[in-house]
Structure 1
Amino acid sequence: MLLELKRIHVPPGQRVLLRDVTWQELETILEELGEHRAARIAYDRGILEIMAPLPEHEDNKEIISDLVKALLEELDIEFRCLGSTTFKNKAMVQGIEPDQCFYIKNELKIRGKKRLDLTVDPPPDLALEIDINSRTHSNIYQSLKVPELWRFENDKLQINILQDGHYVESPESFNFPGLSLIEVIPQYLEQSKIAGRNSTLKAFRIWVRQQR
């Protein structure tokens, strides 16, 4: 398996599916791939997907992540941003690496921890997926009980809230109630491509202050 894995080249924007991958093989593959890599993985009951993002995907991810961080800072909310950390649960035979994720309401519970175990630790409060490659695996996030999932696709932001074990599309965020983020986040993302990152973040921070 590892020899075959080393021979696999995944071009940006493409994905590779491996079937009948055991949990032990998954653990070995993750160790072999290492933490510092561009490729993302998703694992669902024996099927492993390895995907390499496009540059556009990474640009959108970084700007939206920066906007969320600015929002949390302006609202004076402690948070922990864990990027594309691998979240997995052996009992559920599932695992996922979000494009970005945030601990917000549960930040204190995992503060300072170097390793997370979803059998005892809570999942991230918010996960972000940039769907240029149509990669989102909502069923895995549902199984891992991630309370809120953002999907950005075709220049639109979709907010999904976990209710009774299933995601329901929502007009506003559970973590940021009362804010019109579905409209505002795409607007500031587009603005960043014209005005630049720093100018856009300054303007966004002013908007957040005006909402108080």
Structure 2
Amino acid sequence: MLINEKLPLDLAKFAQEDQVLHLSGASWSDYEKLESPEYSQYLISYFDNQITIMSPGRNHERIAELIGILIEAYCEKIDLLYFPFGSTRLKEGEQVGKEPDTGYAFEVDKEHPDLAVEVNFTSGSINDLTKYRYLKIKEVWLWQDLEIKFYYLDDGSYRQITASFVLPGIEAEILTKYLHRGFKESPLNIKKDWLIANPEDN
């Protein structure tokens, strides 16, 4: 599989939109070859003999970064210990590999995060939940179509919830409104308003 003939993706488009490359008929060993530093700028996943390589655009990065900022601010406000995973590659046997936009374990550190965050603009889909189901990630936040939705793993499948179970007090509809501000405003101002709206006794 001639990966290097297909990479890097078109960096002229990188600033504004995600770019995605799908490689079918791939093996797990092909996937593991993409763990080298030269591919660190990409988010890479593997499932059902397909490798997906994604180069995130500017808006993607802004939303993903803002979600992380607001999660950490909320944890600091309620004094909840958190352990960031960032885009650490998560694996389950040789079946599934996934690099979330960010992820967190809470209260104590764990092998896998309690929460994974997936940002989709021109890439990905709700089918990413299948990969997270194999990884047994307790909760997934999926940004798609300009809104964030929360999914909780219940009896082996994800169901949509309106408020987070792992971070009680955070509602998807309200968080979406703050994330919309991220396209034009500094995260500093958004974070300040977020903390005021989420007092410690909530």
Q: Displacement, 1:135?
A: 0.9
Q: Are positions 1:23 and 2:14 aligned together?
A: no
* TM-score, normalising length: structure 1: 0.83
Provide the rounded CA distance (Å) in 2 between the counterparts of 1:130 and 1:66.
Answer: 14
Identity %, equivalent residues:
25
Partner of 1:190: 180
Structure in which a larger fraction of residues adopt helix: 1
Q: Are positions 1:57 and 2:60 aligned together?
A: yes
Match of residue 156, structure 1, among 125, 147, 156: 147
RMSD: 1.9
- Matched residue pairs, number? 193
Alignment of 1:94-113 (within 5 A): 94-105=96-107, 107-108=108-109, 110=110
Q: Displacement, 1:26?
A: 1.6
* TM-score, normalising length: structure 2: 0.87
Partner of 1:125: 114
Partner of 2:129: 138
Partner of 1:173: 164
Is the 8 Å Cα contact of residues 158 and 182 (structure 1) preserved in structure 2? yes
Is the 8 Å Cα contact of residues 192 and 199 (structure 1) preserved in structure 2? no
Partner of 1:201: 191
Deviations 1:76-119 (A, max 9, x none): 0111111111001225x1110001101114x33x4xxxxxxxxx
Provide the rounded CA distance (Å) in 1 between the counterparts of 2:54 and 2:182.
Answer: 26
Is the 8 Å Cα contact of residues 53 and 133 (structure 1) preserved in structure 2? no
Match of residue 85, structure 1, among 81, 85, 88: 88
Can you give the 5+ residue segments of structure 1 that lack an aligned partner in the other structure? 111-120
Provide the rounded CA distance (Å) in 2 between the counterparts of 1:48 and 1:79.
Answer: 30
Provide the rounded CA distance (Å) in 2 between the counterparts of 1:47 and 1:77.
Answer: 37
Match of residue 47, structure 1, among 27, 46, 50: 50
Partner of 2:3: 5
Provide the rounded CA distance (Å) in 2 between the counterparts of 1:44 and 1:198.
Answer: 37
Partner of 2:41: 38
SS at match of 1:202: helix
SS at match of 1:189: helix
Is the 8 Å Cα contact of residues 188 and 200 (structure 1) preserved in structure 2? yes
Provide the rounded CA distance (Å) in 2 between the counterparts of 1:160 and 1:69.
Answer: 19
**CA separation of 1:32/1:7 partners in 2, compared to 1, >3 Å: closer, same or farther?**
farther
**Structure 1: which amino acid aligns with 2:44?**
I
Q: Displacement, 1:7?
A: 2.0
Can you give the 5+ residue segments of structure 2 that lack an aligned partner in the other structure? none
**CA separation of 1:89/1:33 partners in 2, compared to 1, >3 Å: closer, same or farther?**
farther
